[in-house]
Chains A and B, each alone.
Chain A
Amino acid sequence: MTLRTCDACLRRTDLLGALAARLDVEWRRRSAPSGVLSLSDDALIALDPTGAAARRHARFRPETAREQIAAAGLTATCRCSDRFPPRLLELPDPPAVLHVAGDAGALDDEAAVAVVGARRGTPYGLEVARGLGRSLSAAGATVVSGLALGVDAAAHLGALDGTGALVAVLAGGADRPYPARHRALHRRVAERGCVVSELPPGVGPHRWAFVARNRIIAGLSAMTIVVEATERSGSLTTADFAVQAGRAVGAVPGPVTSRFSAGANALIAAGAAVVRDVRDVLDVVPDAGTAAEVAAAAVGVAEPPEPELRRLLDRIERGAGTAAELAPDPEAFGRVLHGLTELELRGLVRRDFGGRYVRALGGGEGAAAR
């Protein structure tokens, strides 16, 4: 399987990369992504009064671009190729070229699910994103997200626990991990699927590119799930793109008092599907995963039958997390610690970095096996 790119698409991509900084200015003026991305090559060149873009455009050699892509360890496909994911062509302004780090086969899943949300997620949002990523992946679904801090990374990390493929869409070059902190995650996603970008290798991230990136996430996915978003969150643009492309949109409900969930709750009020766990997703996109595996993945969500463990779990759900809060006296200590380990082995609680226990979502022992 070789991916092909045509000269015209490469030329346009090179132009976008060269004008990336200038497009930020133009972006704010036109205030809609299509205002920029639908411009023709000539109109784009006209944005640069210095004429540097025009000269670069005239001198452009597609062979050099192909060599650069190969040198960065990427492959590429363009919208004129039959290997280009057809779902992206349903977008009003599909990317000209898709640069791929990893296995481009991960892009072929027609029933991929996007899990996106706030960079500043709360522990609740991160836990849900992780649980969703894990159970979707355990059900065999391809999980798409943006490798950003917070919810995006949590969804990727959860998906790495399962068996499904992963896709990360970046705002800069696909060879540049962004944010840099997610270097390891970038590598692991590329090993289990692919990292893609519409901009040429080496280009840094710009504001407009994040919104442009969101349209690719929405375009690649059969359903977009917003986990946590404030009312002005960029994740809501992903939902908007999904609606424009005629895809399903879901949102995870949050407390009505939390501003971090205001955007997600507003989506539900506007008619988005309520996503409580992976089964709600499979109701909307039945092809995303198989029910048998989902059943296995959902075992962990069941309540423990033992009354003592159930009481312990109740108290953890209400926010008690340390041994001191859970064990009323030293005599109960050994029993409580034993119960906590039992709950953890069943995937009902998770011991977080400080030693606090928190409720875990989805994934019993089998589902989380690595």
Chain B
Amino acid sequence: MSLARVNAFAVDGVEARRVWVEVDIRGGLPAFTVVGLGDTAVREARERVRAAIVNSGYEFPGKRITVNLAPAYLRKVGPSFDLPMAVAVLAASGQLPPEDVARCAVVGELSLTGEVRATRGTLAIAEAAERHGLARLLLPRTRAREAALVPALDVLGVETLQEAVEVLRGDRAVAPIPEVDAATAAAEPDDVDLSDVRGHNALVPALEIVAAGGHNLFMHGPPGTGKTMIARRLPSLLPPLTPAEAIEITRVHSVAGMHGGEGLVQRRPFRAPHHTISASGLVGGGAPVHPGEVTLAHHGVLFLDELSEFSRPALEALRQPLEDGRVAIVRAQRVTVFPTRCTLVAASNPCPCGRESRACTCSAADLARHRRRLSGPLLDRIDVCIAVARPSAAAMRRLAAPSSADVRARIVAARERQVARLEGTGLTCNAQLTPRLLRELANATPAAQRRLDRVHDRSALSARGHGRILRVARTIADLADSGSVRPDHVDQAASLRLDDAALAEAA
């Protein structure tokens, strides 16, 4: 037998695609060739595969070896083809029975000593393996927990090439999936809790509204007043992850190489990129295409501190992903889609000097420049704007904010009402309401509608601003367990609005 074929998978966006690793061994001058659109890491695999096979005590055939990665049009990236290539070489040279490698997906990087090392995108690969009807997945043991999230799959976690061969032959039992290391679990930072925040009690209702409706938030306030601290605690207020959401987050984080192998991600992500980030860093891009911060914040919170300092192209690029909940990145002939459903929290100083309004030394021109930098397409997507002031000493002394768990109970109830109302629309929270759905579902009383019209006429809101107030009012009504939006809900929403009239003037 001088021909063998092994199932492997290439990660493409947050999906995995099947790649056949075919090995042909025939007489001739000894050579080892890899074809099939691989990158540098794939070509370098030859050296790792050769050394790993020899150092694991197997024979590396001194013949003409050709490895083909099919389909040939798909670009293969990274070292995860090392193990499948080694298994295919061993099968082609008769050192491994071919029936043992059939219906088994193989993934893993090899070291020269034959150790099997972790690779990215395990969950996506496991899901794809199941989709292709494969029964078993051979992979690095540190990734076994993650692959085990796909229940139908027989997960073979191994540490060395030798172990892999023996497991495939059936000579050795599969090692049990390792428990999460107690030391690693203990090293996890304690969950941040809302009760750590002091002196901002009055902001708690606003945060509650933001979390309950999934609204994007803009915080305006001098440095050092706790904007970052508050933003960091927003994920702890959002409803607990559903199993489907947790799987999505795990898949994304695994593809991005941020997943340590502890199985399902249990916590909503919080991402706070620095303002020097590029557009492709924020929404994804590069070659190979890598998910951006907005994707890493999927189902969590994306925090942009110092919004005015971010580059214009980066913020422009963020607009569509926030609107659609997904981003499509087009690179020569290929389209990669990443999920991007996250809550945006933006923060900014009120003016360039950053002092409180009474001590501010900025001129009108400085202010106008600052506001012009802030205004832009991104603010269209933000429903709630709050001003954060430095808390007084007396406020700091008073009781801390309630714990996240207490606040979250009300938020979960409000979310449930929204989910029930939005059933059949594919949406999950008020922030996603389109103008048409908003009109149909808001259920504002006539008095509330009149109130809204007055606010609209008075402050010269755009049509969009009108909708934003109604959306937030709907969430306030949900929090109050009210079927209809009443005038006082509109009032509260109006005083949390982002004023685009003031913006238009600055621009």
Contacts and interface: CB of A to CB of B under 8 A. Distances in A.
Interface residues of A, number: 43
B388 interface: yes
B387 A365 contact: no
Interface string A318-339: 0101111111111011101110
A322 B364 contact: no
Interface in B456-479: 457-460
B213 to A, nearest CB: 16
A338 B457 contact: no
Contacts of B206: 323, 333
Contacts of B433: none
Nearest to B476: A334
A328 B506 CA distance: 32
Given A321-B387, A337-B492, A353 B499 contact: yes
A344 B454 CA distance: 11
Contacts of B220: 353-356
A353 B204 contact: no
A180 to B, nearest CB: 12
Given A119-B364, A324-B203, A330-B202, A353 B371 contact: yes
Nearest to B487: A338
B133 interface: no
Given A356-B357, A365-B454, A325 B389 contact: yes
Contacts of A17: none
A181 B368 contact: yes
Contact of B387 (A150, A181, A356): A356
Contacts of B492: 333-334, 337-338, 341
A228 to B, nearest CB: 11
B278 interface: no
Nearest to B494: A341
Nearest to B394: A328
B458 A321 contact: no
Contacts of B360: 123
Interface in A209-254: none
Contact of B459 (A119, A120, A123, A344): A344
A340 interface: yes
Contacts of A365: 454, 457-458
Contact of A337 (B385, B459, B496): B496
A342 interface: yes
Given A119-B364, A356-B357, A342 B387 contact: no
Contacts of A344: 455, 458-459, 494-495
A129 B41 CA distance: 67
B202 A355 contact: no
A186 B355 CA distance: 32
B288 interface: no
Contact of B495 (A123, A149, A340, A353): A340
Contacts of B455: 341, 344-345
Contacts of B496: 337, 355
Interface in B200-258: 200-206, 218, 220-221
B388 A322 contact: yes
User: Chain B interface secondary structure, helix, strand, loop or mixed?
Assistant: helix
Contacts of B387: 321-324, 354-356
Interface residues of B, number: 47
B191 interface: no
Contacts of A323: 202-203, 206, 386-387, 495
A353 B391 contact: no
B350 interface: yes
A157 B455 CA distance: 20
B488 interface: yes
- Of B221, B364, B389, B457, chain A has the most CB atoms within 10 Å of the CB of B364
B357 to A, nearest CB: 7
Contact of A351 (B203, B205, B218, B459): B459
B503 interface: yes
Interface in A291-343: 319, 321-330, 332-334, 336-338, 340-342
Given A334-B492, A338-B492, A341-B455, A324 B502 contact: no
B202 A324 contact: yes
A353 B360 CA distance: 15
Interface in A340-370: 340-342, 344-345, 347, 351-356, 365, 368-370
B185 interface: no
Given A123-B357, A322-B221, 4 more contacts: A324-B389, A338-B492, A344-B494, A353-B371
28 contacts: A120-B364, A126-B364, A149-B365, A322-B387, A322-B389, A323-B206, A323-B386, A323-B387, A324-B200, A324-B203, A324-B391, A326-B202, A329-B201, A333-B205, A334-B492, A340-B495, A341-B490, A345-B454, A345-B455, A345-B458, A351-B459, A351-B495, A353-B371, A354-B350, A354-B385, A354-B387, A356-B350, A370-B460
Q: Which 6 A-B residue pairs are closest in the complex by CB-CB distance?
A: A354-B220, A322-B387, A355-B387, A353-B502, A341-B491, A120-B363
Interface of B: 200-206, 218, 220-221, 348, 350, 357-358, 360, 363-365, 368, 371, 385-389, 391, 395, 454-455, 457-460, 488, 490-492, 494-499, 502-503, 505-506
